[in-house]
Chain A
Amino acid sequence: MARYGMALDYKNCINCKACEVACKEENGVLLGADKHRIWVGSNDVKGEWPLLDIASAAFLPSQCQHCDEAPCQEVCPTNATYYDENHVVRVDSDKCILCSYCMNACPYDARYVDDRTMTVDKCTFCSDTRLARGETTTACQNTCPTKVRTFGDLDDYDSEISELLRTREHFSLKANLGTKPKLFYLT
């Protein structure tokens, strides 16, 4: 029983998108631009040359936030979306009726339709693949060349992620919505 979360040292991100590829490869996510569990966001550089606002062009890797108060879970009419024993937000494809309410309710656009099962799919923190094989990292973390991501147990005082969150300032996305995300962006 763990409480998994992820810390992202997002300023290290170089937008190589290796994490996106690794996620698709590891978890068998279908090809297609809309079919993605994780992504790297970027903004256009603001300002005019030579006064370019370099900071505005930072990259922001993201995915399902595995919220402790997940709106997608609350709105699911059949409890297809649930918290597993490790507090990871998961979808039981047998129960999913594809009403798409969760896709509308998720503030992070983290859900999409898997065309094979015609049910909603999302990041699982590699629970069915790497974690099931006994590994301790996710595919996106494992492949990242600049060590942006740190995955681990938030309840374990000695874990690397706990240490990071104790020693580095961090923020969460759309924290004002009260979703209590378990993805932490290190500043």
Chain B
Amino acid sequence: MKIGPINIPLKEDFSLKSILAFEKTPVNILVAVSVLAMLAMLVIGVATYLLHGHHAYNVTREHPWGLLIAVYIFFVVSSTGFCIVGSLGDVFGFKDFTMISKRAIFGSIVTILAGFTVIAFEIGHPVTMMIYNVLSPGLTSAIWWMGTLYGLYLTFMIIEFYFLLNNDMKKAKVFGLTGLLVGLAAHSNLGSVFGFLNARTISQGVFYPTYFILTAFITGIFLSFIIMGFRYKLNFNEKTKKLLEGLAKIQGLLISILIFFVTWKLLTDIYGGMPNRAEVAEHIIHSGSFWTEVILAMIIPLLVILKDFGKSPVLMFWASLSGMVGIFFMRYNLVHDTQLKPLQMMKIREYQLSPEWIHYFPSVTEIMISLGGLGLCILLYYVGTRAFNLDEDEHH
């Protein structure tokens, strides 16, 4: 497709018909129906939000950030992860990883679009945000930097993808590197949104900005297994096996580092004995959602990798699905745990019990919008696979 000087090489048979013409296997039909259901939930969720505002959410004065913030983080972490994996080949020149670059960069675009969609319904005034982000920038705010840099990052990713589609590897490399650096800056700023919270000692400090980059890379590799698994229907050729084995080995190292980081974070939190931080950390290790995160995102994938040092791509596909569920819990825990401890520890109403822990469970509307974001992400990715050639071009 040509628009002026811009040439977008679409697949020749791309049409609404080609989108609907998927193989009608039970799995494909299940995925298609699920995506439609999730998109319907998005519509219902957004309609409820537009009617009732934040009252449709279970966020409160004490727990102002809820599920949608966690889901936004989940998507942008996925995007940064895709970007890192995509850069291995086309920016850093690791030949084995080049075959996933185009697919991963496209993945980074659709995941961040899904993230922006979800956050648009969490921010009370998204239009005002766009205006005053420019007219009255709060340069000391991590949210300002995170949002602005992610906007730039999306632009660079789109330009990189365009050059990848047109096989202009030189320009793709320049924009890829710039996008990667901006993306890493944006993502660590997202970590610092929590790291700057002096009032919340459990999150305050350097841990989250660095941990976000590490977990983004891990997320990117989980997602790579998932998209390659769907691409080759778990029937991988030799070249793909080599790619996935390399990724699995990196993943083994990264998950080990993550376990090391998290262990020391909790040890210093608990045995450091700092008021507020220590009791929150103890509360965290007694919560089921923390262990869900540990088992699904760390233990299961690591055991699968260690079994034969990453030589079982099919098993790794399933472990990556488990990993992504674990990563979701990781994001949810991060947001919820930050707000666990009430800032007001005195009773302010008659007949009130003394404040203990802040309780939060997402409302149906929040869950619907979140699942809708996932549905949108899968739909965009699927349409992309129909519209563009996301495989590596033969002549490289």
Partners in one complex: yes
A: residues with CB less than 8 A from B are 33-34, 36, 39-44, 60, 71, 74-80, 94-101, 103-109, 111-113, 115, 118-119, 174, 177-178
Among A42, A76, A104, which residue has its beta carbon within 8 angstroms of that of B200? A104
Q: A74-B140, A75-B142, A76-B138 are in contact. Are A113 and B54 (CB under 8 A)?
A: yes
Interface bracket on B: 35 or more
Among B54, B138, B200, B349, which residue has its beta carbon within 8 angstroms of that of A118? B54
Q: Which residues of chain A are near B354, meaning CB under 8 Å? A: 43-44
Among A41, A76, A79, A105, which residue has its beta carbon within 8 angstroms of that of B199? A105
A184 CB to nearest B CB, Å: 18
A71 to B142, CA, bound (A): 12
Q: Which residues of chain A are near B64, meaning CB under 8 Å? A: 100, 103-104, 113
Chain A: CB-nearest residue to B200: A104
Among B53, B136, B338, which residue has its beta carbon within 8 angstroms of that of A79? B136
Q: A40-B348, A118-B53 are in contact. Are A74 and B343 (CB under 8 A)?
A: no
User: Within 8 Å of chain A (Cβ to Cβ): is B237?
Assistant: no
Assess the A101–B193 pair: CB atoms within 8 A. Answer: yes
Assess the B196–A106 pair: CB atoms within 8 A. Answer: no
Q: A105-B199, A106-B343, A109-B343 are in contact. Are A97 and B138 (CB under 8 A)?
A: no
Assess the B198–A41 pair: CB atoms within 8 A. Answer: no
User: Within 8 Å of chain A (Cβ to Cβ): is B25?
Assistant: no
Assess the A103–B143 pair: CB atoms within 8 A. Answer: no
A34 to B143, CA, bound (A): 25
Of the stretches B119-127, B283-291, B306-314, the one at the interface is B119-127
A33, A104, A113 interface centre (most CB from chain B within 10 Å): A104
Q: Which residues of chain B are near A174, meaning CB under 8 Å? A: 199
Name 18 A/B residue pairs within 8 A (Cβ), A-sorted.
A36-B348, A41-B344, A41-B347, A44-B354, A71-B197, A78-B137, A78-B144, A79-B136, A96-B125, A97-B123, A99-B129, A100-B59, A104-B200, A106-B343, A109-B61, A109-B343, A118-B53, A119-B125
Q: Known contacts A42-B347, A71-B197; can you find 6 more A-B pairs with CB under 8 A?
A: A41-B346, A100-B59, A105-B198, A105-B199, A113-B64, A119-B125
User: Within 8 Å of chain A (Cβ to Cβ): is B133?
Assistant: yes
A39 to B141, CA, bound (A): 28
Assess the B124–A97 pair: CB atoms within 8 A. Answer: yes
Chain A: CB-nearest residue to B145: A77
Among A40, A44, A99, A103, which residue has its beta carbon within 8 angstroms of that of B123? A99
Q: Which residues of chain B are near A76, meaning CB under 8 Å? A: 138, 141
A42 to B147, CA, bound (A): 40
Assess the B347–A97 pair: CB atoms within 8 A. Answer: no
Chain B: CB-nearest residue to A42: B347
User: Within 8 Å of chain A (Cβ to Cβ): is B65?
Assistant: yes
Among B59, B61, B137, B347, which residue has its beta carbon within 8 angstroms of that of A43? B347
Assess the A77–B124 pair: CB atoms within 8 A. Answer: no
B255 CB to nearest A CB, Å: 30
User: Within 8 Å of chain A (Cβ to Cβ): is B62?
Assistant: yes
Chain B: CB-nearest residue to A94: B128
Q: Which residues of chain A are near B339, meaning CB under 8 Å? A: 104
Assess the B199–A78 pair: CB atoms within 8 A. Answer: no
Assess the B62–A99 pair: CB atoms within 8 A. Answer: no
B333 CB to nearest A CB, Å: 16
B218 CB to nearest A CB, Å: 26
Assess the B344–A109 pair: CB atoms within 8 A. Answer: yes
B116 CB to nearest A CB, Å: 14
Q: Which residues of chain B are near A99, meaning CB under 8 Å? A: 123-124, 129, 143
Chain B: CB-nearest residue to A113: B54
A99 to B62, CA, bound (A): 14
Assess the A71–B123 pair: CB atoms within 8 A. Answer: no
User: Within 8 Å of chain A (Cβ to Cβ): is B132?
Assistant: yes
A96 to B59, CA, bound (A): 18
Q: A79-B138, A112-B61 are in contact. Are A42 and B346 (CB under 8 A)?
A: yes
Q: Which residues of chain A are near B62, meaning CB under 8 Å? A: 109
Assess the B138–A78 pair: CB atoms within 8 A. Answer: yes
Assess the B123–A98 pair: CB atoms within 8 A. Answer: yes
| Interface members, chain B 184-209 (any A CB < 8 Å) | 193, 196-200
A34 to B64, CA, bound (A): 12
Q: Which residues of chain A are near B144, meaning CB under 8 Å? A: 77-78
Assess the B136–A95 pair: CB atoms within 8 A. Answer: yes
A39 to B349, CA, bound (A): 9
User: Within 8 Å of chain A (Cβ to Cβ): is B342?
Assistant: yes
Chain B: CB-nearest residue to A32: B61
User: Within 8 Å of chain A (Cβ to Cβ): is B60?
Assistant: yes
